[in-house]
Structure 1
């Protein structure tokens, strides 16, 4: 390991040893994120690889992904990049290859071996280049921009929702690598542990000093430092994690040390993710395109439940006042095959296939009913999460459909006489329809959300307020993030996004 002090900067060169910078945290800061990202941006670099983290507050999306090409310049969708944070990228300038990790101010340069003096000259040269860097990289300008948390708070904004990602702890727990117990040594039942993990898979809503999950209040609060969000909660502070039998820490300490969470503010421009804040300058420009995916042409009046259970044994259709029946009678009507895949390992509540049109299509429909109109994130988050969890099913091979047919779809729905498949008498009929969709390069795949608890008119009013820079209720900020997450994910999979709602 070699430490080089260059004026007001410290260069750390190491190999096969742990990084020592954590010991210097009281004396040194990372380089400015913006300057570091645009390193050599004025020299027309070609970006060969980028690893991106998603800014979404939904845990149902792909959290991180990597793209690689001879040159990514111009071929990465701005829709994806504006909602993403570059965590690592490789760039080529002439014959020189650099790999940058902005969050740790790390620069790697693929080059031949160097003498000691040459190494020092290289470190000083890198430092000088970062110091004079201006934001001139067009490619990186499409990504989310960093901003200091204190600056957001000083502008009068506040956090309205947090999504905590405990998947790493949950995976270790399920794999037997960690044990969860109470701080006083008493044991937690598997039911209590599962309840904690399941609760925190929904956004934690923040209203001043009040925290809520799925409408239930939590004891605790959120506080802020210059760059970090701190979550205080008695339940989390009372759960002890024992790793490999020796390393003990509370769940609360883990969350505040590792920061495995994202947060959104009362302005949709800002997001907090993994110890950093970012600004999406493009979101509010897309409000009108976001509203275009809402379809209010369907009649959802007199819907009293999702499926109107319990069902009588001789039932052959879902009850007329159920959301399922409305979807089947209205949205599914033009399709020649309709599959009810509700329950068990469901891909969607309904799958509707139109194989007779010149441009065939297949729609995966996810329905959600609430007893009253709601514009909070909870109900919409549930249906979006269900849709995104199964978004890969839109690309499923025919054999998987065949397996589903013989395992489930050829039977009636639960203990009723409702046929799960209408329009196809057997697997061969369904296979012909799927072939018509799969063999046509212009066929359309859709994910459809049936959400009669949303009114397009009310959404339009509130989202237009946001577009004009006006204040609106916090839950609309969460909604616009969830809607945009849904649209972005669908675009990434080449799938159309549709939301059925009330006028």
Structure 2
């Protein structure tokens, strides 16, 4: 029966942790049948057969699988196969309907390493046709992932913000074929006819040769993105500072992935699956940032000052040993088992650890541990010069005393020492300026320069606070700024309602002032016509400003100088960097420019 096997040339490649034996393979096959529901006759089974300098093992049998769209006990009869190919220190796993057990994987297999996959597949002569990217930031407001596709991506995209993105997967065109790879999982695929068992073994051996070629060079294009480095290379004086769960990855695994997981809990009546609403509530509760505190040899997670979990570092990975999540009695099951019958059911915290669904930031601003790998953002080399170019110091913000000031009936202007007053009185230099505060606001102020070439549209988000490097002051402003990036076009059906709301005076704290929403630029009709004539131009420049009295350019520059000099920086500064870099990157994604106007 083995000669009838026809499989795609697609496998997950692993580094062999310890030597495989025939007994270990036999125990794996026995366990696979034990875990299966009503396993049938074995169609083929072979254990560590020799082919050239490789060995292969395979099994295939039928079993029952619950029908996911029926609430009763109806099952489908399906067939699954597993093919293991061993060559030198690498193991390739071909699979359909069956997979190696968690116990087998923990004992014998470990991740291959992104750099090996990169050298093997994303070689110097590769032409990139598709890229799946993940943002390094932990900000919940920033674009977290994106997929790019073109005949030749290197010539089709700008790489100005590439260093902040991690290649999660790619498809490349080479002289020897079209390859796809997912470095985090070690999955490699080649577009070709389906292969017999021996052809699959030979193909896996060829891929192992590529993986073992240490002289191969990765493509210069892929090197423009965030670079993977070994965790063992982390300097001893670099410490973790922040931890966050990859809630988007968790949501995808539960709601969208082909091999879907589900959340379950045990009740008096037995195991039951959480509803979509309940699962979303769990995910929302996990969408928070934890501080990391070093307590002697323990790496503790803290949330709002209270102990919330434990991390453990090894030479190859960071393990989430404990996480005090809101729903401690929630477990994760595979959906190819009936509810409550998955023998590999695990607590949610253990699932997050096993799937590497978390991010860790460090006192070195350039580093981030994402989805099981450590990355370095090369944009940080040079003391944060790129970051500082987005900060614009203004002297008047050093004397601001409030965000909006006080209000009385009939007053004609915002208080001069408020951030709002500073923006309206000259910081925003556009010939058209509109106050959009309150209600369905897109920004606190909207400025349009119709007399410049090119024309400029600017959104201003004004905030006040005590001078510090704390990131907390920026959460709301960054969230508002990113949420409204799509409004920068100042077009569409919503504009009619906007013009109507602006054709009024400013009201706040029970006071009806004489402050016009159309602060300057003419009457409503004049401004409406000017904006309509301006925003449709192909060369319009769009900018987003966070105007804050809580940040000092000098303090930020000093923080970068300390980091460049190898000195430690405060954890709040690390979080500030990542939040604002997420903001700048999100602006760049839609062709806008993000700035922070702050104290000198």
The TM-score, its normalising length taken from structure 1, stands at: 0.85
1:362 to 453, 457, 463: 457
Q: Post-superposition shift, 1:469?
A: 3.2
Partner secondary structure for residue 90 of structure 1: strand
Aligned to 2:326: 236
Aligned to 1:431: 528
Distance 2:288 2:431 in 1: 37
1:117 to 1:201, Cα distance in 2 relative to 1, 3 A: closer
1:208 to 271, 280, 294: 294
Q: Post-superposition shift, 1:496?
A: 2.0
1:106 to 1:165, Cα distance in 2 relative to 1, 3 A: closer
CA contact (8 A) 1:338 1:350 kept: yes
Matches within 5 A, 1:74-223: 74-94=155-175, 96-133=177-214, 134-152=216-234, 155-166=236-247, 201-209=287-295, 213=303, 216-223=304-311
Partner secondary structure for residue 138 of structure 1: coil
Give CA-to-partner distance per residue, 1:447-497, whole Å, 9 cap, x none: 101121111122222212223333333322333333333322222222122
Distance 2:267 2:525 in 1: 56
Aligned to 1:318: 414
Q: Post-superposition shift, 1:335?
A: 2.0
CA contact (8 A) 2:263 2:279 kept: no
1:75 to 1:165, Cα distance in 2 relative to 1, 3 A: same
Distance 2:488 2:594 in 1: 12
Give CA-to-partner distance per residue, 1:214-237, whole Å, 9 cap, x none: xx3122343223212426454536
1:410 to 503, 511, 515: 503
Distance 2:440 2:322 in 1: 37
Q: Post-superposition shift, 1:320?
A: 3.1
Q: Post-superposition shift, 1:432?
A: 2.1
Partner secondary structure for residue 221 of structure 2: helix
Partner secondary structure for residue 479 of structure 1: helix
Aligned to 2:519: 422
1:336 to 1:41, Cα distance in 2 relative to 1, 3 A: closer
Aligned to 1:389: 483
2:397 to 270, 275, 300: 300
* 238-247 or 119-128, which deviates more: 238-247
Distance 2:250 2:219 in 1: 38
1:348 to 400, 419, 443: 443
Give CA-to-partner distance per residue, 1:344-383, whole Å, 9 cap, x none: 432212111121233321111112211x211022213332
Aligned to 2:62: none
* 47-56 or 413-422, which deviates more: 413-422
Q: Post-superposition shift, 1:258?
A: 4.4
Distance 1:180 1:338 in 2: 55
- Greater RCO (CA < 8 Å, at least 6 residues apart): 1
2:100 to 20, 23, 46: 20
CA contact (8 A) 2:228 2:374 kept: yes
CA contact (8 A) 2:138 2:359 kept: yes
The TM-score, its normalising length taken from structure 2, stands at: 0.72
Q: Post-superposition shift, 1:196?
A: 8.8
Partner secondary structure for residue 73 of structure 1: helix
Structure 2: unaligned runs, 5 residues or longer: 1-80, 256-261, 269-277
Aligned to 1:187: none
CA contact (8 A) 2:245 2:287 kept: yes
Determine whether 1:374 maps to 2:460.
Answer: no
CA contact (8 A) 1:35 1:135 kept: no
When the two structures are aligned, how many residues end up with a matched partner? Answer: 487
Give CA-to-partner distance per residue, 1:99-136, whole Å, 9 cap, x none: 11111111111112344432221111111111115343
RMSD: 3.6
Distance 1:254 1:146 in 2: 23
2:90 to 3, 6, 9: 9
Distance 2:105 2:250 in 1: 28
Partner secondary structure for residue 111 of structure 1: coil
Distance 1:369 1:195 in 2: 32
Give CA-to-partner distance per residue, 1:275-311, whole Å, 9 cap, x none: 22212233223622321222213412442221236x4
1:440 to 1:193, Cα distance in 2 relative to 1, 3 A: same
Determine whether 1:328 maps to 2:410.
Answer: no
1:78 to 1:172, Cα distance in 2 relative to 1, 3 A: closer
Q: Post-superposition shift, 1:49?
A: 0.4
1:385 to 1:87, Cα distance in 2 relative to 1, 3 A: same
CA contact (8 A) 1:236 1:252 kept: no
Q: Post-superposition shift, 1:41?
A: 4.4
Matches within 5 A, 1:47-66: 47-66=128-147
CA contact (8 A) 1:362 1:437 kept: no
Partner secondary structure for residue 104 of structure 1: coil
1:411 to 1:250, Cα distance in 2 relative to 1, 3 A: farther
Distance 1:172 1:9 in 2: 27
Distance 1:493 1:205 in 2: 31
Matches within 5 A, 1:435-454: 435-454=532-551
1:380 to 1:454, Cα distance in 2 relative to 1, 3 A: same
CA contact (8 A) 1:182 1:239 kept: no
1:115 to 1:386, Cα distance in 2 relative to 1, 3 A: same
Partner secondary structure for residue 208 of structure 1: strand
The structure having more radius of gyration, on CA atoms, is 2
Partner secondary structure for residue 128 of structure 2: strand
CA contact (8 A) 2:184 2:372 kept: no
1:249 to 1:218, Cα distance in 2 relative to 1, 3 A: farther
CA contact (8 A) 1:218 1:233 kept: no
Decide which structure has greater strand share: 2
